[in-house]
A and B are shown apart, each in its own frame.
Chain A
Amino acid sequence: MSTDAETPRAPIVPAASLLPADAPFPKAAKVALGMPQLRANLAHATGTIRAKRARLVDELDDWERLRDTAAAIKADVQHRLPELAVEFERNATAAGATVHWARDAREANEIAARLVREAGTDEVVKVKSMATQEIELNEHFEAVGLKAFETDLAELIVQLAEDRPSHILVPAIHYNRTEIRDIFDQRMSDAPAGLTDDPAALAEAARLHLRRRFLSAKAAVSGANFAVAETGSLVVVESEGNGRMCLTMPETLISVVGIEKLLPRFADLEVFMQLLPRSSTGERMNPYTSVWTGSRDGDGPKDVHVILLDNGRTGVLADEVGRQALSCIRCSACLNVCPVYERTGGHAYGHVYPGPIGAILAPQLEPGRHDDLPYASSLCGACYEVCPVKIDIPEVLVHLRQQGPHHAGERAVMGAAKAVMARPRLWRTALRAARFGSMPWRRKGFMRRLPWPGSKWTVSRDMPTPPKEDFRDWWKERRR
């Protein structure tokens, strides 16, 4: 496994840069499909996690009942969102936190940057957080002269490689151990000499690299997995201890929390903390969970801030079918089982939330953009089966396809089909014509290439030939 330290290293190429920038999904996916190393890394990693999850889920005989409860709690949260948000604010404030509200990414970033400056520093350590990825907090900080250091191992890898995350839980899933060793070797100033690609050695290098920063940081930025309205508490679920470091050691803590993260009661954690670790990392419980409520004398940060973030969520809430996407607890089980994600990876989706959940969240959070993502699915339904909060992703995908824009050609074809199908005689004539026209392919049973505009269909699928006898003829024959 170890390699000679003298071997010349391949230059670091950020994986996201290999895909055409801002390309629609089909175009980006096509490029990704042509990257054998990426596909091998993804197949290996998603295969590993699928097997772990399946084994751990099987241990619980009440898994389906837990899913039912979680889905119902989340639906209740959505229906009572204004009331719960205010309850959370009241209780967090009473416990010494300052609660801010942000309509959009810009507002959240400006509040966070101001708070960092007020803490008397220009750098922060960060706990892995999807909300801060979504608002591009790091990029905003850099633009205003602040520095955000990612401390989760995978986020650190992505940040050092100047890449973008490709998975919700394991943002560096697209890199294998050798590629990670090369990134550390070339981009981490204090990487030990002769670093091998043994995962334990790589983890040790990250520990040494970040330790002084943890122990001296003045401010930290986090997200939260859950926000408990009843107590005003925030919950962060993690593995490495980087979260605990960020949440405990600095004087100032700023947490960016999407409004959909609310839970009514502290006791609801008994449901979600069984579902989340098993669904995400395939563990009975993740190594560390931190729960904090405002600030406490002599224990942890004195200056505790919570930024409640909308950024498109209230728009999602307004859609009766689509709002279930707000139940997502970011476990990423749907990514790991998705046949599309497994082959294309996360970057092709062009959004911070990739995979099946991204395909329903991205177009709703940013209406008018990502309208191609609801089609990035075969509607096989595996995502719905593993979703711990029972989001019916295929239902929302179909709903968004119906709502989304449709190509002029598609509209014309559908209009024509409608006109023909509404006239029985015309329809029969059309069927006869199709049978006649497809005669040469009858024995094969399908046509591989149709001329334009049929080629739009056959470019990625075969066209079956019409049956020799249709239902109407068969019925007529029987009644005789």
Chain B
Amino acid sequence: MSAREEILERMRRALEGAGEAPPAPREYRRALDPEVDIVELLIDRLVDYKANVHHGLDAIPEALGGAKRVVVPGDLPEEWQLGGADFVPDEALSTADLDGMDAVLTGCAAAVAVSGTIMLDAGAAQGRRAITLVPDHHVVVVRRDRIVGHLAEALPMLDPTAPQTWISGPSATSDIELQRVEGVHGPRRLDVVIVGP
């Protein structure tokens, strides 16, 4: 018997007479209270986890903070490429090329206010995963219509089978005495630019 057949057989034997589990109750929250200002909450949570927050497209150069070489997804809107940096579209750049970049500028698929989470799903203006990982500084543009209050509202906005990265603040570790320290292997600096009406 193959391992597959044997394991499935063991499962079936283990469950003989077990019947069905009762349906799961779904009484939990799926949204925040309507009076909550989700943009304000998102900003509060981002700052709490040591991300920098900026407002409006005009703030992009400031968010890039002197980065000279900035990798961008091939489909990044032209009007976001502001300031004096050299914007390099990612056309299958090598790892070494990516490692030579000062920053990366992308959009996002969704942002969850309550946990300060930016979600990427390889969709428009986001590019492949490596470009938002190797450079040490990630600048992400968040349109207001991409901001939701609750995680349950964000998941339907994602392509579930696309490669996803959910980002809540810059890279961090709590491995030494359970004290949070920002900055390990992922981008050590995260700047969020909130745009839109």
Stretch at the interface among A188-196, A199-207, A350-358, A454-462: A199-207
> Would you call B106 an interface residue if the criterion is a C-beta within 8 Å of the partner chain's C-beta atoms?
no
Inter-chain CA distance A318–B187, complex, in Å, is 45
Inter-chain CA distance A249–B131, complex, in Å, is 10
List A contacts of B112 (CB < 8 A).
285
Cβ contact within 8 Å between A267 and B177: no
List B contacts of A101 (CB < 8 A).
2-4, 7
- With CB as the reference atom, state the residue of chain B lying closest to A274: B151
Cβ contact within 8 Å between A296 and B163: yes
List B contacts of A273 (CB < 8 A).
151
Chain A residue total in the interface (Cβ 8 A) = 101
Cβ contact within 8 Å between B7 and A241: no
Residues of A279-326 at the interface with B, using a CB-CB cut-off of 8 Å, are 281, 283-294, 296, 298-300, 308, 310, 314-315, 317-318, 320, 323
List A contacts of B34 (CB < 8 A).
none
List A contacts of B183 (CB < 8 A).
200, 203-204, 207
Query: Contacts A69-B26, A248-B133, A300-B129 hold; do A240 and B184 have CB atoms under 8 A apart?
Result: yes
Q: Main SS of chain A's interface residues?
A: helix
List B contacts of A249 (CB < 8 A).
95, 130, 133
> Would you call A95 an interface residue if the criterion is a C-beta within 8 Å of the partner chain's C-beta atoms?
yes
Query: Contacts A62-B27, A204-B183 hold; do A85 and B11 have CB atoms under 8 A apart?
Result: yes
Cβ contact within 8 Å between B185 and A240: yes
A66 contacts which of B12, B19, B28 (Cβ < 8 Å)?
A: B28
CB distance from B152 to the nearest CB of A (A): 4
Cβ contact within 8 Å between A299 and B176: no
**B169, B175, B179 — which one has the most chain A CB atoms within 10 A of its CB?**
B175
Cβ contact within 8 Å between A153 and B176: yes
List A contacts of B157 (CB < 8 A).
none
> Would you call B69 an interface residue if the criterion is a C-beta within 8 Å of the partner chain's C-beta atoms?
no
> Would you call B36 an interface residue if the criterion is a C-beta within 8 Å of the partner chain's C-beta atoms?
no
B14 contacts which of A153, A172, A267, A317 (Cβ < 8 Å)?
A: A317
List A contacts of B147 (CB < 8 A).
none
Cβ contact within 8 Å between A266 and B155: yes
Query: Contacts A287-B169, A288-B167 hold; do A281 and B174 have CB atoms under 8 A apart?
Result: yes
> Would you call A9 an interface residue if the criterion is a C-beta within 8 Å of the partner chain's C-beta atoms?
no
> Would you call A432 an interface residue if the criterion is a C-beta within 8 Å of the partner chain's C-beta atoms?
no
A207 contacts which of B21, B156, B161, B185 (Cβ < 8 Å)?
A: B185
- With CB as the reference atom, state the residue of chain A lying closest to B167: A288
Interface flags, A420-454, vs B, CB<8A=1, else 0 = 00000000000000000000000000000000000
Interface flags, B158-196, vs A, CB<8A=1, else 0 = 001111111111111111111101111111000000000
Residues of A56-78 at the interface with B, using a CB-CB cut-off of 8 Å, are 60-62, 65-66, 68-69, 72-73, 75-76, 78
List B contacts of A291 (CB < 8 A).
160, 163-166
List B contacts of A216 (CB < 8 A).
95
A317 contacts which of B15, B20, B128, B175 (Cβ < 8 Å)?
A: B15
**B18, B29, B176 — which one has the most chain A CB atoms within 10 A of its CB?**
B176
List B contacts of A173 (CB < 8 A).
178
- With CB as the reference atom, state the residue of chain A lying closest to B183: A203
CB distance from A82 to the nearest CB of B (A): 4
Cβ contact within 8 Å between A239 and B160: no
**B11, B19, B20, B25 — which one has the most chain A CB atoms within 10 A of its CB?**
B11
Query: Contacts A173-B178, A300-B163 hold; do A242 and B185 have CB atoms under 8 A apart?
Result: yes
- With CB as the reference atom, state the residue of chain A lying closest to B7: A310
Interface residues on B, range: 35 or more
List B contacts of A23 (CB < 8 A).
none
Cβ contact within 8 Å between A286 and B15: no
- With CB as the reference atom, state the residue of chain A lying closest to B30: A270
Query: Contacts A176-B177, A270-B152 hold; do A73 and B14 have CB atoms under 8 A apart?
Result: no
List A contacts of B179 (CB < 8 A).
48, 199
> Would you call B38 an interface residue if the criterion is a C-beta within 8 Å of the partner chain's C-beta atoms?
no
Inter-chain CA distance A73–B28, complex, in Å, is 13
Interface flags, B66-81, vs A, CB<8A=1, else 0 = 0000000000000000
CB distance from B179 to the nearest CB of A (A): 6
Cβ contact within 8 Å between B168 and A153: no
Cβ contact within 8 Å between A284 and B116: yes
**B92, B112, B130 — which one has the most chain A CB atoms within 10 A of its CB?**
B130
Cβ contact within 8 Å between A285 and B115: yes
> Would you call B134 an interface residue if the criterion is a C-beta within 8 Å of the partner chain's C-beta atoms?
yes
> Would you call B45 an interface residue if the criterion is a C-beta within 8 Å of the partner chain's C-beta atoms?
yes
Cβ contact within 8 Å between A65 and B27: yes
Inter-chain CA distance A52–B27, complex, in Å, is 26
- With CB as the reference atom, state the residue of chain A lying closest to B3: A101
- With CB as the reference atom, state the residue of chain B lying closest to A45: B178
List A contacts of B23 (CB < 8 A).
72, 76
Inter-chain CA distance A348–B169, complex, in Å, is 36
Cβ contact within 8 Å between B15 and A240: no
Cβ contact within 8 Å between A68 and B25: yes
In the complex, 9 of the A-B residue pairs with CB atoms within 8 angstroms, ordered by the A residue number, are: A69-B27, A69-B28, A199-B179, A202-B176, A290-B129, A290-B166, A299-B163, A314-B11, A323-B14
- The 10 tightest CB contacts between A and B, nearest first, are A241-B186, A72-B24, A241-B185, A318-B14, A314-B10, A285-B115, A240-B184, A154-B175, A299-B128, A289-B166
Seed contacts A76-B24, A239-B172; 19 additional CB < 8 Å A-B pairs: A49-B178, A76-B21, A101-B3, A153-B173, A170-B174, A173-B178, A203-B173, A207-B184, A215-B96, A240-B185, A242-B185, A244-B165, A269-B151, A284-B115, A287-B169, A287-B172, A290-B165, A291-B164, A317-B14
